[in-house]
Amino acid sequence: MSATPVPAPPHTPGPRPFRSLSSGNVGAVLERGFTVIRNQNWMILVSGFFEPVLYLLAMGVGMGGLVGEVVGPGGQPISYAAYIAPALLATSAMNGAIYDSTWNVFFKLRFAKLYQAMLQTSLGPLDVAAGEILMALFRGFVYAVGFLGVLALMGLVTSWWALLMVPVAVLVALGFAALGMGITSFMRTFQQMDLINFAMLPMFLFSATLYPITVYPEPVQWFVMAMPLWHAVELMRQLSVGHLGLVTLVHVGYFLAMTGVGMWLTTVRLRALFLR
């Protein structure tokens, strides 16, 4: 008790919209995220980076030896590894964002009580949700840069358009993270959380990731084309070889719409998610 008391600076929050949900201090949530990464969690970053690389080596290079060349988006022949690499990037953007916005949020909410502590302060639920989504995007960005680097080293990058795969990976992550957090607000138990994995694996396997969509009968094709991952895969694949068209914009539009719906759902469910 010998230390002299330090007086607090004056605190005058101004009037804002979302007054009950936000203090406009998202930065502090990000600061916490980066501090944790610096302290100990960089291992998680590394493991997330290796996942698509391992798939690329096993499927692309390994199985690619059996498959040989396939038809690329523009009709030109490309190696099997070059064919699935963009799909793996799209999938890793999805997996990272979904993990961060569902399991990670559920755990911090239920067990670590992190959000409970944050919401005791002048942070509001909107600050916490936005901060966590931005952290998920940061991870998505780091993975995308790393994976693109690996592709370049393996000689699988043939177009400057491929650089756009990085911001697109962030957009894909944003769509999945926004929707994922909204969905988490409905979850009460681990069993329900398992349903998320139950939806993710088939989406990875069947969204024209490892072979063209034309192998399916038409009704199945329509179903696959309604799924978000298919749009992400197509978008990435087109960018990887620089074969763009109007349909590219449709895929981008799909993710902008998904982000809008996800943000809306998360915002209306904020109270259910954090204030229970």
Contact residues for other proteins, defined by CB under 8 A = 1-9, 11, 13, 19-23, 25, 28-29, 31-32, 35-36, 39-41, 112-114, 116-124, 271, 275-276
Q: For residues 106 and 40, give the distance between their C-alpha atoms in angstroms, rounded to a whole number.
A: 20
Instruction: Identify which of residues 7 and 219 has a Cβ nearer to other proteins in the complex.
Output: 7
Q: 20 φ, ψ to 5°?
A: -80, -10
Question: At 70, is the secondary structure helix, strand, or coil?
Answer: strand
Distance between CA atoms of residues 27 and 67, nearest Å: 48
The answer to whether the CB of 255 falls within 8 A of the CB of 171 is yes
Among residues 14 and 68, whose Cβ is nearest to other proteins?
A: 14
Q: Which is nearer to other proteins, 219 or 276 (CB)?
A: 276
d(CA 97, CA 94) in angstroms, rounded, equals 5
> Nearest approach, Cβ of 95 to other proteins (angstroms)?
22
Which of residues 121 and 197 has its CB atom nearest to other proteins in the complex? 121
Least separation in angstroms between residue 258's CB and other proteins is 29
Q: Shortest Cβ distance from residue 21 to other proteins (Å)?
A: 8
Buried b / exposed e along 147-175 (16+ C-beta atoms within 10 A): bbebbeebebbeeebbebbbebbbbbbbb
SS3 102: coil
CB 39 to other proteins: min, Å? 7
CA 237/CA 241 separation, integer angstroms:
7
CB 54 to other proteins: min, Å: 27
Closest approach of Cβ 182 to other proteins, in Å?
A: 19
Q: Which of 119/225 has CB closer to other proteins?
A: 119
DSSP 8-state class, residue 4: P
Pairing of strands 77-79, 69-71: antiparallel
Which is closer to other proteins, CB of 3 or CB of 246? Answer: 3
Q: Among residues 119 and 203, whose Cβ is nearest to other proteins?
A: 119
| In the complex, least distance from residue 265 CB atom to other proteins, rounded to whole angstroms | 19
List of residues 6+ apart from 217 with CB closer than 8 A: none
Minimum distance between the CB of residue 13 and other proteins, rounded to whole angstroms?
Answer: 5
Q: 65-71 contacts: CB < 8 A, separation 24 or more?
A: 70/212, 71/212
Nearer to other proteins, 107 or 186 (CB): 107
Opening angle at CA 79, ends 73 and 82, nearest 5: 65
